[in-house]
């Protein structure tokens, strides 16, 4: 989602000043530098905008976040897991289904990763990710399907390699086409090399220190150092409910024990009183 169709380009942009009510994120361009946007294999060169004109970088295209509830759940599970691991750090940022712009002055040069982790960048509420203001993402995960396979294994993979994404993971939750359904790549000397799967079916992400494992239609994150699995949001909620139920049960038992103790104390008082009255 959000990836320009192959061969599509434009030489005109809608220019909105930063103070315009519709302009959410903008930068000023420099002088008439040449900016290149890939078009198919040949590429087409386009002129940058004049000095001090401002470019709008949209934050949404109105398309749905994911093509099925299974894909959406994997995406939210991953975001939750990464936020659990990195959320307390001021120099890391996690994002889901947003626009990453990779050419300054060219709002058509964008891609929409399903889930992304960027390390070494300031934590703040971005509406999009401007590569020339940040640094290449450390990790991108695409929750892929038969519908998106061509882009996920072709143009997106090539782009992520070119812009320096350290690790690229593909997960096919429904098993539409990817065999095995979990695959990944790591950047080595500027080129992607496949990540090997362990005997237990896990894939090690060195940039995060996490192992990833396909569990049914879902993707499990596991701390590689401790072997501890990161719980999914619904598992945490279930654990909370179980803990709350156990607490209520313990409180009920304690209250019953207190009531029995009070009753016993009253009975002892009654017996002593009866003995003293003789």
CATH of the domain at 173: 3.90.1570.10
Q: Are residues 86 and 107 in the same domain?
A: yes
Q: Are residues 125 and 235 in the same domain?
A: no
Q: Are residues 108 and 217 in the same domain?
A: yes
Q: Are residues 250 and 112 in the same domain?
A: no
Q: Are residues 176 and 273 in the same domain?
A: no
Q: Are residues 146 and 238 in the same domain?
A: no
The pLDDT tens digits of the residues spanning 202-230 come to: 999 999 999 999 999 999 999 999 999 99
Q: Is residue 55 part of a domain?
A: no
Q: Are residues 244 and 217 in the same domain?
A: no
Query: What pLDDT is attached to residue 273?
Result: 78
For range 24-53, the mean pLDDT: 40
Q: Are residues 88 and 175 in the same domain?
A: yes
Supply the pTM of this predicted model: 0.72
Please tell me the least confidently modeled range out of 107-111, 252-256, 271-275.
271-275
Q: Is residue 149 part of a domain?
A: yes
Query: What pLDDT is attached to residue 193?
Result: 98
Q: Based on the structure, what is the number of domains in the chain? A: 2
**How many whole angstroms from its chain centre is CA 201?**
22
Q: Are residues 74 and 175 in the same domain?
A: yes
Q: Is residue 37 part of a domain?
A: no
For range 146-162, the mean pLDDT: 96
Given a cut of 70, is residue 18 above it in pLDDT? no
Last residue of a domain, one of 177, 192, 223: 223
Q: Is residue 6 part of a domain?
A: no
The domain of 113 spans 60-223
Given a cut of 50, is residue 173 above it in pLDDT? yes
Given a cut of 60, is residue 17 above it in pLDDT? no
Mean confidence (pLDDT) of the chain: 83
């Amino acid at each position: 989602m959000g990836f320009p169709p192959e061969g599509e380009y434009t030489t005109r942009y809608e220019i909105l000043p930063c103070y315009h009510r519709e302009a959410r994120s903008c930068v000023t361009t420099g002088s008439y530098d040449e900016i290149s946007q890939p078009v198919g294999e040949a590429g087409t060169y386009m002129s940058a905008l004049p000095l001090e004109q401002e470019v709008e970088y949209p934050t949404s295209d109105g398309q749905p976040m994911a093509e099925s509830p299974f894909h959406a759940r994997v995406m939210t599970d991953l975001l939750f897991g990464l936020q659990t691991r990195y959320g307390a750090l001021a120099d890391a940022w996690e994002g889901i289904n947003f626009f990453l712009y990779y050419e300054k002055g060219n709002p058509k040069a964008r891609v929409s990763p399903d889930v992304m982790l960027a390390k070494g960048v300031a934590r703040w509420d971005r509406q999009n990710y401007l590569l020339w203001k940040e640094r290449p993402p450390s990790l991108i995960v695409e929750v892929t399907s038969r519908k998106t396979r061509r882009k996920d294994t072709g143009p997106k993979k090539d782009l992520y390699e070119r812009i320096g994404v350290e690790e690229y993971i593909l997960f096919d939750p429904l098993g539409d086409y990817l065999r095995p359904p979990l695959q990944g790549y790591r950047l080595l000397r500027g080129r992607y090399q496949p990540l090997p799967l362990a005997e237990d079916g896990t894939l090690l992400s060195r940039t995060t220190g996490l192992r990833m494992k396909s569990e049914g239609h879902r993707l499990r994150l596991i701390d590689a150092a401790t072997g501890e699995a990161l719980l999914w949001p619904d598992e945490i909620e279930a654990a909370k409910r179980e803990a709350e139920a156990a607490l209520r049960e313990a409180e009920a038992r304690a209250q019953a024990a207190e009531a029995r103790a009070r009753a016993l104390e009253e009975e002892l008082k009654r017996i002593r009183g009866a003995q003293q009255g003789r």
